[in-house]
Chain A
Amino acid sequence: MSLELFVFYVLAGVAVGAAAMVISSRNPVHSVLFLILTFFNAAGLFVLIGAEFLGMVLVVVYVGAVAVLFMFVVMMLDINFVRMREGMLQYLPVGALVGLILLVELGLVFGTWALVEDVTPAFPAPAPDQVPNTRALGQLLYTDYIYLFQAAGVILLVAIIGAITLTLRERKGVLRQDIGRQVARDRAATVELRKVKVGSGIQ
């Protein structure tokens, strides 16, 4: 058994085992931790097939952002996961049947797989053995695919505008820091000098 194969089986085995733990562990926090383990192993698999960029992105985006967000949600919202799973056994047979039918259908479709003859790819990609794939992705993303890359950027901008439109509310009675006002304050507006007579207070 070559070393590469050995590493593959270790990574794949741990990934599958951890994925099973994600859906079977009783404590939701444990589920998220196992999810992170799954992501790490999947990233390892990507590195193994020479797609180091995807491996890095998987760790940065999924572990760094998504899983941590999950963790926050799980810890902050009081969701009773045991109750959510109550009906699972009841629905399992029907769900499994639907899944099986879908699998068979897909198998039938892919059984006939044959690429259309002499298609010249419209957007040729550089061969993976000539450039490291991070650079290859960058070269494609910012040249042939610049349109889609920018479009994705606009979609994200719209998502931000939409989120703000739907959720931002001007609340009354909230103390906000307004640096402009702080700087513009002068002594006359805030401090008042009074002569106080002995034996009487200030009205």
Chain B
Amino acid sequence: MGFDLTPVLPELFLLVAGLVLLVVGVLTREGEAARVVATLSVLALVIGSIIIAASDKSPQLALGGHYVADGFSAFLKILLFVGAALAILLAQGFLHDRRIARFEYSLLVLFSTLGMSMMVSANSFLALYMGLELSALPLYVLAAFDRDNLRSTEAGLKYFVLGALASGMLLYGCSLVYGFAGTLSFDVLADAFGAATAERPPALLPLGAVVGLVFIIAGLAFKLAAVPFHMWTPDVYEGSPTPVTAFLATASKVAAAGLAVRVLMHPFGEWTAQWQQVVVLISIASMLLGAFAAIGQANIKRLMAYSGIGHIGYALVGVAAGSERGVYAVLVYLAIYLVMTLGTFGCILLMRRQGQYVEQISDLAGLSRQRPMAAAALGVFMFSQAGIPPLAGFFGKLLVFLAAVEAGLTWLAVLGVLSSCVAAFYYLRIVKVMYFDEAAEPFDTAVHPAVTGITAITALATLFFIVWPGPLLRAAGAAAAALVR
């Protein structure tokens, strides 16, 4: 194997950009540094996406087989880079208003994105773990970024402690798989656990490897914030600065979901029966908890936490299908989820009264009269998240449920539909509060153009997805085909 670095180009570029921007941030004058580094970080992420879009999509191994670049990783990386760039743009006004604008924010997002991109390209358990840690460590710091705020530091500490526990479980699972299979490489594992060939009898999955797999799923479920590993989510989402919550809820989840799909479909692809029941259980529990626990929430960030748990449950329905159709549905779902959620957080960032960010659901009252466009955008996101046609969110759910029905999991799809009916209640309640409740105080009229722009674009994308769904569906189809060979 030669030492070809071409497949790793996006990561290398992001790494070098991060290191250069660190120096730029330190050398630039204090008042300017945050803005300059943020702009350059967004630029770096955009260039990174272009590099990926232009790269060869055929599967390529690199760096001793620990790294793989294929259509699947390319699709997810572009999602991640775009999500991270939008998270940086969303944050600037907020950080400035809260007087915590420092250039480290953009850098940490950049390094975390680098870690996520390594996660979705991992081709061995070691690479998986390294990517996971690199993506998680900046997130712990970001959660506590508003360091003089008690809730923010509490969120950071909680996330850190529970994240360390999850890493421990994941590593324990990896070591069990290694102990019973003798290798960490996904390719070799897929080969060893693979289907029987002419010269070889059918492989056996040792009990220890099954136990290891369960531990790995548990570790990944923590990153996904899936039930029963979701306990940290509401507190961390509520305490973290809002743009950080947006990043946590989007890019971090997308990367973990991509990783979970790769681990389950590639090395353990022949053993769907072994992991399907675990994934189904996690999926049902997440959907139900996401639907019922969100009803009583008064804080919109906490509500988004439970809504995110529910969404991961729906995405896992597609994973549980264990087929190419399932992977395809998951990828489409994740892309739509990313856009909707970023837009929703854009709307939350638009809610300000007398210079203070408000985040109670009751604070939304009267939004429709004072800020009709913002209310309309939030309405679109809420209807879309509830899965009401013809908005984008409906198609994500439709594809996921179709994949489940095709895989013979009709009852799971039925449960999903029922729980999304329950979830529709609290999404619609927000619309009701916006349009029919009397406002107490006026909202601030001064807005940050970046936040408004992102909200408008994501709202339009959600609204008009039905008109031009081709590009996303084709890209997701190619990505799924690349993984399930």
Whether the Cβ atoms of A122 and B184 lie closer than 8 Å is yes
Chain A residues with CB under 8 A of B104:
161, 164-165
Chain A residues with CB under 8 A of B176:
109
Q: A110-B208, A116-B206, A147-B64 are in contact. Are A154 and B138 (CB under 8 A)?
A: no
Whether the Cβ atoms of B141 and A155 lie closer than 8 Å is no
Q: Which of B108, B118, B184, B208 contacts A113 (CB 8 A)?
A: B208
Which B132-158 residues sit within 8 Å CB-CB of chain A? 133-134, 137-138, 140-141, 144-145, 147, 156
Q: Which of B64, B65, B134, B193 contacts A116 (CB 8 A)?
A: B193
A114 to B111, CA, bound (A): 40
A113 to B65, CA, bound (A): 27
Whether the Cβ atoms of A123 and B65 lie closer than 8 Å is yes
Most chain B Cβ neighbours within 10 Å, of A116, A145, A152: A116
A18 to B209, CA, bound (A): 36
**Can you list, as one digit per residue, whether each of A156-179 has a CB less than 8 Å from chain B (1) or not (0)?**
011101101110000000000000
Which B149-189 residues sit within 8 Å CB-CB of chain A? 156, 176, 179-185, 187-188
Whether the Cβ atoms of B182 and A154 lie closer than 8 Å is no
Q: Which of A117, A118, A121, A158 contacts B138 (CB 8 A)?
A: A158
Residue of B at shortest CB range from A145? Answer: B64
Q: Is A60 an interface residue (CB 8 A)?
A: no
Whether the Cβ atoms of A166 and B144 lie closer than 8 Å is yes
The minimal Cβ–Cβ distance linking A108 to chain B, given in whole angstroms, is 9
Chain A residues with CB under 8 A of B15:
154
Whether the Cβ atoms of B126 and A122 lie closer than 8 Å is no
Q: A144-B64, A146-B64, A162-B141 are in contact. Are A123 and B185 (CB under 8 A)?
A: yes
A181 to B184, CA, bound (A): 55
Chain B residues with CB under 8 A of A147:
63-64, 66-67, 127, 130
Q: A116-B193, A151-B131, A165-B104 are in contact. Are A121 and B207 (CB under 8 A)?
A: no
Whether the Cβ atoms of B108 and A151 lie closer than 8 Å is no
The minimal Cβ–Cβ distance linking B64 to chain A, given in whole angstroms, is 4
Whether the Cβ atoms of B102 and A109 lie closer than 8 Å is no
Which A94-116 residues sit within 8 Å CB-CB of chain B? 109-110, 112-116
Most chain A Cβ neighbours within 10 Å, of B176, B187, B207: B207
The minimal Cβ–Cβ distance linking A166 to chain B, given in whole angstroms, is 6
Q: Is A198 an interface residue (CB 8 A)?
A: no
Chain B residues with CB under 8 A of A154:
15, 111, 114, 134
The minimal Cβ–Cβ distance linking A145 to chain B, given in whole angstroms, is 7
Whether the Cβ atoms of A122 and B141 lie closer than 8 Å is no
Residue of B at shortest CB range from A150? Answer: B15
The minimal Cβ–Cβ distance linking B147 to chain A, given in whole angstroms, is 6
Chain B residues with CB under 8 A of A158:
108, 111, 134, 137-138, 141
Interface size on A, residues (CB 8 A): 32
Whether the Cβ atoms of B118 and A151 lie closer than 8 Å is yes
Residue of A at shortest CB range from B15? Answer: A154
Which B378-418 residues sit within 8 Å CB-CB of chain A? none
Most chain B Cβ neighbours within 10 Å, of A114, A143, A166: A166
Chain A residues with CB under 8 A of B180:
113-116
Whether the Cβ atoms of A109 and B207 lie closer than 8 Å is yes
Chain A residues with CB under 8 A of B137:
155, 158-159, 162
Q: A109-B207, A158-B111 are in contact. Are A165 and B64 (CB under 8 A)?
A: no
Whether the Cβ atoms of B208 and A116 lie closer than 8 Å is no
A119 to B192, CA, bound (A): 6
Chain B residues with CB under 8 A of A119:
181-183, 188, 191-192
Main secondary structure of the interface of B (DSSP, over half): helix
Whether the Cβ atoms of A120 and B66 lie closer than 8 Å is no
Q: A146-B64, A147-B64 are in contact. Are A122 and B114 (CB under 8 A)?
A: no
The minimal Cβ–Cβ distance linking B99 to chain A, given in whole angstroms, is 13
**Can you list, as one digit per residue, whether each of B78-104 has a CB less than 8 Å from chain A (1) or not (0)?**
000000000000000000000000101
Q: Which of B130, B138, B187, B209 contacts A122 (CB 8 A)?
A: B187
Chain A residues with CB under 8 A of B51:
none
Chain B residues with CB under 8 A of A7:
none
Whether the Cβ atoms of B206 and A155 lie closer than 8 Å is no
Whether the Cβ atoms of A120 and B127 lie closer than 8 Å is no
Whether the Cβ atoms of B141 and A166 lie closer than 8 Å is yes
Q: A109-B211, A116-B193, A143-B64 are in contact. Are A165 and B145 (CB under 8 A)?
A: yes
A122 to B192, CA, bound (A): 11
Whether the Cβ atoms of A109 and B108 lie closer than 8 Å is no
Chain B residues with CB under 8 A of A159:
137
Q: Is B293 an interface residue (CB 8 A)?
A: no
Q: Is B124 an interface residue (CB 8 A)?
A: yes
Residue of B at shortest CB range from A115? Answer: B182
Chain B residues with CB under 8 A of A148:
66, 126-127, 130
Q: Which of A117, A122, A165 contacts B183 (CB 8 A)?
A: A122
Whether the Cβ atoms of B107 and A161 lie closer than 8 Å is yes
Q: Which of A114, A144, A155 contacts B134 (CB 8 A)?
A: A155
A117 to B199, CA, bound (A): 13
Q: Is B204 an interface residue (CB 8 A)?
A: yes
- A-B residue pairs, 9 tightest by C-beta: A122-B185, A162-B141, A147-B63, A151-B130, A144-B64, A165-B104, A122-B188, A119-B182, A116-B192
Task: Give the A-binding residues of B (Cβ under 8 A).
Answer: 15, 22, 63-67, 102, 104, 107-108, 111, 114, 118, 124, 126-127, 130-131, 133-134, 137-138, 140-141, 144-145, 147, 156, 176, 179-185, 187-188, 191-193, 200, 203-204, 206-209, 211
Task: Give the B-binding residues of A (Cβ under 8 A).
Answer: 109-110, 112-123, 143-148, 151-152, 154-155, 157-159, 161-162, 164-166
Question: Besides the contacts A116-B204, A158-B134, what 13 more A-B pairs have beta carbons closer than 8 Å?
Answer: A109-B176, A113-B206, A114-B206, A115-B180, A121-B188, A145-B66, A146-B64, A147-B127, A154-B111, A154-B114, A161-B108, A161-B111, A166-B147
Pick 13 A–B contacts, CB within 8 A, sort by A.
A115-B180, A116-B193, A120-B183, A121-B183, A122-B188, A143-B64, A145-B64, A147-B66, A148-B126, A148-B127, A155-B133, A161-B104, A166-B147
